[in-house]
Structure 1
Amino acid sequence: MLKPYLILASSLLLFCLSPEVSAQGEADFSKAIEVTAGHEELDIKNNRLLLTDNVIVKQGTLQIKADQLEAIRGQEGEEADTFIAEGQPATYQQQLADGSMIRAQADRITYFQTRQRLELTGNAEIAQGSSRSSGEIITYDLAEQKVSASGEGSENNRVTTIFKPRKKSESDNDTNNEGGN
Structure 2
Amino acid sequence: MLDIGYSLSRRFPDPPQTDYRHADVHALRHDLFCGDVYIADTKADREVSTAWGWVPVLDFAWALCDIVERLDRDPRGSRSAGPQYAELDFTESADRMLFERRFGWVDVEADWMPAEEPPLTFNHAALRREARDFLHDLIADLTDMHDGLADNPAIWTLQSRFPRLP
Which protein has the bigger helix share? Answer: 2
State which structure, 1 or 2, has the greater radius of gyration over its C-alpha atoms.
1
Greater RCO structure (CA 8 Å; 6+ sep):
2
Same fold (TM over 0.5): no
Which protein has the bigger strand share? Answer: 1
Q: Could you tell me the TM-score, scaled by structure 2's length?
A: 0.30
Q: Could you tell me the TM-score, scaled by structure 1's length?
A: 0.28
